[in-house]
């Protein structure tokens, strides 16, 4: 058993060391073609993806030239297709799966080869297959399918690609930032338009741009992609709607008149085949906003794969110079009651718990309405708050067992809340109770008998927007510890 445990620990150290050594950072962001989470059996993201992956595939480590950073797609410079902007499966440049996002770069011409080497061009990465695939770096993975690319502007390159801190120069890996300066910082009028270098030449995106003839698209800063109802009200993150609901897909801060593509997906955590593609729509931006009105039907719900209700939809909005992912919208087949929020929503004799199936008294997304997690007390009433115009919850109580010779105490318990900070999606709530005697023989013990007492609890404060990796470091460590425990248990059982 000791020998086995030593072997397991050794394997863990080797595995973790492999992960730690996978990073490769380009000399500057213009050289990034795409990024990987690790060096083998991994996922990919765009050059500036939210996952912050540190294994970067760099143009100037493959070709004897400084890359321009031009990532516009011209119909013949596709490198890969990604299933989503981060944590993505990939497909080869010849594939055209609906919903996949093209990764393009400069003048690259790419293809997949399975002969063990590139018959033309230079190796960029390795793929498990040509569609819906994991991938790895060319040197760090053993996958047989090689992504090979050539660049007309750089006829020579390096095979294998250079490592961090190196650049490819005349077919040889050399320490340093590479050949330069680029056209946009060389002091010359390279395109003959009488304008020299960045920022005077409008063909230059920055000082690292090596082509003064570039067509420049103004960068889009800020902006957002989100869901609205058909009246234009923005949905909160993880809001829940019914099948048959009309919703709007919205992209803000896009270029006026540009065509925006909305790819709708169902999020499938840990699904080896990736997220489910639901539908694709297009809309033309008016001003700086594009929107598409869509009715979610049963077929859309069924495309989600039939997992537990509700299912999680999100969309990716793409246009020239624009790529945004929306929050999730939860879609259910259940009939959702109309939520009551304001005093005018209630009749005078309604009870909050009985009249509102959503249960404002246990609405954990709004701690101000939190009173009782079971919400099974029919004496919890909604009373109008004078300043807030919101429903202030109060519990009416009549002593069921008054002392002999005493009239039953009738009172009302009201609540105030002290909210703490959100930590890991939870908020600590200090509930302060106040008992008011209305009639009968009430005393100091009445509040205790009415369970009108202070208490501490925790409620959800809204899910934070996280881009978790499919299998992060902590999950890895926990899994390895679990494997070690199981291994030790089985070994002990065999000895006994």
361 falls in which pLDDT band (50, 70, 90)?
very low
Distances (CA, A) of 185 to 70, 181, 207, 439: 16, 6, 5, 86
Lowest mean pLDDT segment, chosen from 170-179, 263-272, 419-428, 445-454: 419-428
| Final residue before a domain boundary, out of 288, 312, 332 | 332
The pLDDT, as a whole number, for residue 333 is 79
Tokens linked to 376: 């099974």
The answer to whether position 486 is within a domain reads no
Q: Which range among 334-338, 438-442, 452-456, 470-474 has the greatest average pLDDT? A: 438-442
Tokens linked to 328: 């999730």
The answer to whether position 119 is within a domain reads yes
Q: How far apart are CA 375 and CA 431, in angstroms?
A: 15
Which residues, at least 6 apart from 272, have a Cβ–Cβ distance to it below 8 Å?
A: none
Q: How far apart are CA 374 and CA 193, in angstroms?
A: 74
Q: Which helix (H) or strand (E) holds 78?
A: strand 78-82
What count of other Cβ atoms lies within 10 Å of the Cβ of residue 153? 14
Tell me whether residue 237 is exposed, middle or buried, using C-beta atoms within 10 angstroms of its C-beta: 0 to 12, 13 to 18, 19 or more.
middle
The answer to whether position 465 is within a domain reads no
The pairs formed by 197-205 with CB atoms below 8 angstroms and a separation of 24 or more are: 205/68, 205/69, 205/70
Which residues, at least 6 apart from 28, have a Cβ–Cβ distance to it below 8 Å?
A: 208
Same domain, 375 and 267: no
Q: How far apart are CA 28 and CA 178, in angstroms?
A: 11
Same domain, 119 and 206: no
Q: How far apart are CA 188 and CA 194, in angstroms?
A: 9
Total residues found in the chain within this entry = 496
The pLDDT, as a whole number, for residue 455 is 73
The pLDDT, as a whole number, for residue 121 is 92
Q: How far apart are CA 58 and CA 65, in angstroms?
A: 11
Lowest mean pLDDT segment, chosen from 23-27, 132-136, 141-145, 246-250: 23-27
Could you give the angle at the alpha carbon of 256 between the alpha carbons of 285 and 203, nearest 5°?
135
Same domain, 289 and 368: no
The CATH number of the domain where 234 resides is what? 2.60.40.1930
Q: Total domain count for the chain?
A: 4
The answer to whether position 8 is within a domain reads no
The pLDDT, as a whole number, for residue 58 is 94
Mean pLDDT of 262-278: 76
The answer to whether position 198 is within a domain reads yes
28 falls in which pLDDT band (50, 70, 90)?
confident
**Bigger pLDDT: 371 vs 323:** 323
Same domain, 421 and 453: yes
171 falls in which pLDDT band (50, 70, 90)?
confident
Same domain, 133 and 48: yes
DSSP state of 478: H
The pLDDT, as a whole number, for residue 282 is 94
| Final residue before a domain boundary, out of 298, 332, 366 | 332
Q: How far apart are CA 421 and CA 3, in angstroms?
A: 48
Mean pLDDT of 286-292: 92
Beta-strand relationship, 259-266 and 239-242: unpaired
DSSP state of 407: P
Cβ(407)–Cβ(440) below 8 Å: yes
Res. 93: pLDDT tops 90: yes
Is the entire prediction scored with pTM above 0.95?
no
The pLDDT, as a whole number, for residue 350 is 45
The pLDDT, as a whole number, for residue 27 is 84
Beta-strand relationship, 410-423 and 391-398: antiparallel
Same domain, 248 and 325: yes
Helix (H, G, I), strand (E, B) or coil at 240: strand
Helix (H, G, I), strand (E, B) or coil at 69: coil
What count of other Cβ atoms lies within 10 Å of the Cβ of residue 96? 10
Lowest mean pLDDT segment, chosen from 82-96, 210-224, 356-370: 356-370
Nearest of 227, 294, 225, 306 to residue 266 by alpha carbon: 306
Res. 144: pLDDT tops 50: yes
The answer to whether position 302 is within a domain reads yes
Res. 3: pLDDT tops 70: no
Lowest mean pLDDT segment, chosen from 69-73, 332-336, 366-370, 482-486: 366-370
Helix (H, G, I), strand (E, B) or coil at 214: coil
What percent of the chain stands above pLDDT 70? 67
Res. 274: pLDDT tops 90: no
343 falls in which pLDDT band (50, 70, 90)?
low
**Bigger pLDDT: 412 vs 58:** 58
Distances (CA, A) of 266 to 84, 98, 157, 262: 12, 14, 41, 13
Same domain, 104 and 152: yes
The answer to whether position 468 is within a domain reads no
**Bigger pLDDT: 248 vs 414:** 248
Nearest of 255, 252, 262 to residue 329 by alpha carbon: 262
Give the side-chain half-sphere CA count within 13 A for 136.
15
The answer to whether position 481 is within a domain reads no
Same domain, 52 and 171: yes
Same domain, 32 and 159: yes
DSSP state of 335: P
Res. 480: pLDDT tops 90: no
Same domain, 280 and 374: no
Question: Taking the mean position of all CA atoms in its chain, how far away is CA 492?
Answer: 43
Same domain, 349 and 371: yes
Compute the mean pLDDT over every residue in the chain, rounded to the nearest whole number. 76
Same domain, 231 and 363: no
Range of the structural domain that residue 278 is part of: 225-332
| Final residue before a domain boundary, out of 332, 366, 394 | 332
Q: How far apart are CA 242 and CA 301, in angstroms?
A: 10
The pLDDT, as a whole number, for residue 244 is 83
Helix (H, G, I), strand (E, B) or coil at 289: strand
Sign of the torsion angle spanned by Cα atoms 384, 417, 451, 357: positive
Nearest of 492, 406, 491 to residue 441 by alpha carbon: 406
Q: Distance between the two ends of the chain, CA-based, in angstroms?
A: 12
Q: How far apart are CA 493 and CA 151, in angstroms?
A: 61
Could you give the angle at the alpha carbon of 224 between the alpha carbons of 219 and 228, nearest 5°?
145
The pLDDT, as a whole number, for residue 64 is 86
């Amino acid at each position: 058993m000791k020998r086995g445990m030593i072997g397991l620990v050794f394997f863990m150290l080797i595995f973790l060391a492999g992960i730690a050594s996978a990073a490769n950072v380009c000399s500057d962001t213009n050289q990034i073609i795409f990024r990987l989470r690790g060096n083998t059996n991994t996922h990919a993201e765009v050059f500036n993806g939210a996952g912050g992956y540190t294994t970067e595939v760099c143009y100037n480590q493959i070709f004897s030239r400084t890359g321009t950073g031009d990532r516009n797609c011209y119909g013949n410079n596709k490198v890969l297709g990604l299933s989503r902007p981060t944590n993505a499966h990939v497909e080869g440049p010849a594939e055209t799966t609906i919903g996949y996002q093209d990764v393009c770069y400069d003048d690259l011409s790419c293809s997949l080869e399975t002969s063990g080497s590139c018959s033309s061009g230079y190796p960029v990465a390795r793929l498990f297959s040509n569609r819906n695939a994991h991938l790895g770096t060319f040197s760090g993975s053993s996958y047989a399918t090689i992504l090979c690319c050539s660049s007309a502007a750089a006829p020579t390159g390096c095979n294998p690609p250079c490592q961090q801190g190196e650049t490819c120069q005349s077919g040889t890996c050399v320490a340093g930032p590479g050949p330069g300066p680029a056209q946009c910082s060389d002091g010359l009028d390279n395109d003959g338009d009488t304008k020299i270098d960045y920022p005077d030449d409008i063909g230059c995106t920055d000082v690292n741009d090596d082509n003064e003839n570039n067509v420049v698209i103004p960068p889009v800063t800020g902006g957002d992609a989100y869901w609205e109802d058909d009246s234009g009200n923005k949905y909160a993150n993880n809001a829940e709607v019914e099948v048959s609901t009309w919703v709007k897909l919205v992209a803000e801060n896009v270029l006026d008149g540009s065509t925006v593509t909305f790819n709708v997906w169902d999020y499938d955590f840990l699904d080896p085949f990736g997220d489910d593609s639901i539908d694709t729509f297009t809309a033309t931006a008016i001003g700086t906003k594009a929107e598409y009105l869509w009715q979610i039907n049963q077929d859309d719900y069924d495309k989600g794969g039939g997992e537990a209700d509700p299912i999680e939809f999100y969309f990716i909005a793409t246009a020239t110079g624009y790529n945004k992912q929306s929050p999730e919208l939860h879609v259910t087949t259940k009939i959702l009651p109309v939520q009551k929020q304001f005093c005018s929503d209630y009749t005078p004799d309604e009870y909050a718990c009985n009249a509102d199936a959503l249960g404002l008294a246990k609405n954990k997304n709004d701690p101000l309405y939190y009173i009782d997690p079971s919400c099974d007390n029919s004496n919890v009433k909604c009373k109008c708050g004078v300043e807030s115009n919101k429903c202030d919850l109060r519990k009416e109580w009549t002593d069921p067992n008054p002392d002999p010779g005493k009239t039953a105490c009738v009172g009302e318990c009201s609540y105030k809340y002290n909210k703490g900070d959100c930590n890991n999606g939870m908020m600590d709530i200090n509930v302060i109770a106040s008992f008011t005697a209305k009639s009968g023989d009430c005393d100091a013990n009445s509040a205790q008998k009415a369970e009108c007492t202070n208490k501490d609890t925790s409620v959800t404060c809204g899910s934070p927007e996280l881009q978790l990796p499919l299998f992060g470091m902590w999950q890895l460590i926990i899994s390895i510890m679990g494997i070690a425990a199981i291994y030790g248990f089985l070994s002990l059982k065999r000895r006994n």
